[in-house]
Structure 1
Amino acid sequence: MALFSNGTVVAWGANTAGQIDVPASASLGGGVVAISAGREHSVALFSAGNVAVWGTNDDDQLNVPPALSGVAAIAAGMYHTLALLRTGEVVAWGFNGFGQRTVPSSAKSNVVAIAAGTMHSLALLSNGSVVAWGDNSFQQLNVPAAAASGVVAIAAGDAHCLVLLSTGAMVAWGRGTEGQASIPAGAAVLPGAARLPPTTRPLQPGTVLTWGAMGNIVPVAARSNNVVAIAGGDLYSLQLLSNGAVVAWGDNSYSQCNVPAAALSDVTAIYSGGVHSLALLSSGNVVAWGANTAGQSNVPVAARSGGSVVAIAAGRDHSVALFAAGNVAPAITTRTAIARATITCTTAATITATATPPTATITAAAVPTVLTIATTTAAITAAAIAASTVTAATIASATLTATPCTLPTVTAAALPAVTTAALTAADPS
């Protein structure tokens, strides 16, 4: 799927159950702000906080809970769907054969991001910890100690989980059916990882810890602290680096890990389907690669060259794009946003965020990466925002100021894909 700048949705690929038959409410300028896709169903979130679902209803995927409103984020699993309310509560519907839609009490408040795998679900809490529920056949619910805090983004694959830490390092766990549990010597274990598999080696933070069925050879490019977004497919993983390049590893049966040249720079968002991958460029165009058995990688002309796409999503065999409506409000989805603004200043900074409602002030103490350093890059993470009770879903703009200098203004327009992934906002001055 793709989301376009007029708030409409376009879908392509397999249509075995009507999953690419976008309803009129979402295809005619209906104010859609976020999208997600399951195996044979698609989901759209409207600016009003309501949702639309289409495709198969074999497992009640279309049976949205009555009077559901105030939704800030959506995530579609294989046969189930999650919704994050603006109150911080998770609501779920659809297939529940493994308890994947039985939301635990710990995910009924203070949740800032959600992710849905094939038969399991994840929630990121405002304190930087992760809650997992559903199928545990491959230990995908056994959150390791290294991911117990400091998490700023989450993603769920077929039967594995990925999290991004505030340091820029990644931690992963879950299914291990292809020898991927043998951690390579170059993959780092973060401090405090005592409960991780015995094959892990305590190295320096800022590189990748990985085990399970998502690639036993972690590429050198993935062993960095410059990761800003993550995504998990069936048996492979994706990373988006701060330089706009995509890194992929794991199963490559359908060339889903062969990142094309077009996705090696200027990428602002990533999404992994079953065995195909999508990338959204800063130009507003979509790049796809991997399996194309149902045309899921045949990006329509409007989405690959029209320059208006602001969000992407992929199901097992179909893709969806959302076209922006000019001022689409940022919303938390399964990809937590990390904004970066370049500052040139030699004094402590104060960040004032205008929320709806209320207005909150985030001080330099709450954002430790904003320091008294000349000509540096300050990272404003979702975790730092959450710590000041302002979520990414409510922020319309963020202004950074300092004395004696004035830092750049980071607006929603400067972060066009904040609904789907981590973005990099350059200094507009």
Structure 2
Amino acid sequence: MTVSAATVLSLCAPAASADTVGGVIAWGKQDYGITVPPPNVLSGVSAVSAGSTTVLVLQSGAVFAWGANNWGANVIPADAKSGVGQISSGWGHELALKNGKVIAWGNNWYGQTTLPASVSSGVIAISTSNLHSLALKQGGQVVSWGTRTDVPAAAQSGVTAISAGGDHNLVLKNGGVLAWGNNAYGQATVPAGLSSGVTAISAGFNHSLALKDGRVYAWGRDNYHQTDVPDAALSGVAGIDAGSNHNLAFKTNGDIIAWGSDFVTESEPVTCGPVFAVSAGDNDSFVLKENVNAPC
């Protein structure tokens, strides 16, 4: 096993806009063919979400999945084949958001797909992890189900973003990070300076990320240097995603940054930018690029 320093692949070009579609490029573990994107996801994809064994993408409002089909994770419900706005892939269980309603399927060992009645309408964001899930309602109320159902009073209103970690959660409220849950490695102890101005959050298995003024902040478990933020991620970052033990980020010019564990090259990108979305899974990595065949 090796631990990589940050890997940065650069191409000086503008980052794609939020409504841009492109193709999936993947690297890392080969289990279940997860890092071999099917031909139909090499274009027309607007979002990608890597779970432990299954990957979801969104194409013109329809969800598509590949990887392991344990518990029927790859069998997309009829409701999720059109009109979907968001996706989130977990540990053999999957979520989609359609017209304010959460759709769930796959593994239900811990109640991950047994949805609370409150998420049947008025939901504006979803996030899932290994054994639990979060939803954000209009008005900023967080709902949690699965192995972790607790939501602190501070997260009952005014929340604007959510991220479910291994056994902890991050949310944004008034630009500040709130965290709760397992804190064995300090992953729920928010560093000073992140009480305002934060624009993005992402919870990994035992570590956490935040984005403020284009700079990545990381805290929690550091056994694979996943919280050692590289110089390239200290400015100009546009998006972040925390995986199990590694992280991905992309810069405003579309550069890819990867750091943390590198068991099976998950921190060694196989392409250069510009990319417009990243998703870090369990020892695998995924990016969206407007033209997957564009030379570096």
TM-score (norm: length of structure 2): 0.88
Q: Determine if contact 2:181/2:188 at 8 Å carries over to the other structure.
A: no
Q: CA deviation at 1:285?
A: 1.6
Q: Which residue of 1 aligns with 2:202?
A: 231
CA distance in 1, matches of 2:129, 2:79: 25
Q: Determine if contact 1:168/1:225 at 8 Å carries over to the other structure.
A: yes
Q: CA deviation at 1:21?
A: 1.3
Unaligned 5+ segments in structure 2 are 1-14, 292-296
Q: Which residue of 2 aligns with 1:162?
A: 170
Match of 1:282 among 252, 263, 276: 252
**Off by >6 Å, runs of 4+ in structure 1:** none
Deviation per CA, 1:158-213, whole angstroms, max 9, x where unpaired? 01111100x211111112445x4xxxxxxxxxxxxxxxxxxxxxxxxxxxxxxxxx
For residue 104 of structure 1, what is the amino acid of its counterpart?
Answer: P
CA distance in 2, matches of 1:322, 1:268: 14
Q: Which residue of 2 aligns with 1:313?
A: 279
Q: Determine if contact 2:237/2:251 at 8 Å carries over to the other structure.
A: yes
CA distance in 2, matches of 1:58, 1:79: 6
Are positions 1:263 and 2:278 aligned together? Answer: no
Number of residue pairs matched by the alignment: 273
Q: Determine if contact 2:129/2:164 at 8 Å carries over to the other structure.
A: yes
Q: Which residue of 2 aligns with 1:59?
A: 71
Deviation per CA, 1:320-369, whole angstroms, max 9, x where unpaired? 111137xxxxxxxxxxxxxxxxxxxxxxxxxxxxxxxxxxxxxxxxxxxx
How do 1:168-187 and structure 2 match up within 5 A? 168-178=175-185, 180=186
Q: Determine if contact 2:239/2:251 at 8 Å carries over to the other structure.
A: yes
Q: CA deviation at 1:56?
A: 0.7
Q: Determine if contact 1:244/1:268 at 8 Å carries over to the other structure.
A: yes
Q: Determine if contact 1:20/1:42 at 8 Å carries over to the other structure.
A: no
Deviation per CA, 1:296-326, whole angstroms, max 9, x where unpaired? 1101233xxx32x11111111101111137x
CA distance in 2, matches of 1:147, 1:157: 16
Secondary structure at 1:17's aligned position in 2? helix
Match of 2:134 among 103, 118, 122: 122
How do 1:127-276 and structure 2 match up within 5 A? 127-136=139-148, 141-165=149-173, 167-178=174-185, 180=186, 214=187, 216=189, 218-222=190-194, 224-241=195-212, 243-276=213-246
Q: CA deviation at 1:16?
A: 1.0
CA distance in 1, matches of 2:166, 2:64: 24
CA distance in 2, matches of 1:313, 1:113: 17
Are positions 1:44 and 2:15 aligned together? Answer: no
Instruction: Give the superposed CA RMSD.
Output: 1.6
Q: Which residue of 2 aligns with 1:409?
A: none
Q: CA deviation at 1:6?
A: 5.6
Deviation per CA, 1:8-37, whole angstroms, max 9, x where unpaired? 11111001111111011101x2x1100100
Deviation per CA, 1:140-167, whole angstroms, max 9, x where unpaired? x2100011100000000001111100x2
Higher share in strand = 2
Q: Which residue of 1 aligns with 2:6?
A: none
Q: Determine if contact 1:21/1:54 at 8 Å carries over to the other structure.
A: no
CA distance in 1, matches of 2:176, 2:114: 30
Q: Which residue of 1 aligns with 2:47?
A: 34
Q: Determine if contact 1:7/1:323 at 8 Å carries over to the other structure.
A: yes
Q: Which residue of 2 aligns with 1:74?
A: 87
- Between structure 1 and structure 2, the one with the greater Rg is 1
CA distance in 1, matches of 2:248, 2:157: 29
Deviation per CA, 1:236-267, whole angstroms, max 9, x where unpaired? 100000x1000000000000001100100011
Highest RCO, 1 vs 2 (Cα 8 Å, sep ≥ 6): 2
How do 1:329-368 and structure 2 match up within 5 A? none
Are positions 1:25 and 2:25 aligned together? Answer: no
CA distance in 1, matches of 2:124, 2:184: 32
How do 1:6-17 and structure 2 match up within 5 A? 7-17=22-32
CA distance in 1, matches of 2:85, 2:133: 17
Q: CA deviation at 1:67?
A: 5.0
Q: Which residue of 1 aligns with 2:12?
A: none
Q: Determine if contact 1:100/1:133 at 8 Å carries over to the other structure.
A: yes
TM-score (norm: length of structure 1): 0.61
Q: Determine if contact 2:168/2:188 at 8 Å carries over to the other structure.
A: no
Deviation per CA, 1:403-424, whole angstroms, max 9, x where unpaired? xxxxxxxxxxxxxxxxxxxxxx
CA distance in 2, matches of 1:220, 1:154: 19
For residue 260 of structure 2, what is the amino acid of its counterpart?
Answer: G
Are positions 1:107 and 2:119 aligned together? Answer: yes
Match of 1:323 among 274, 279, 289: 289
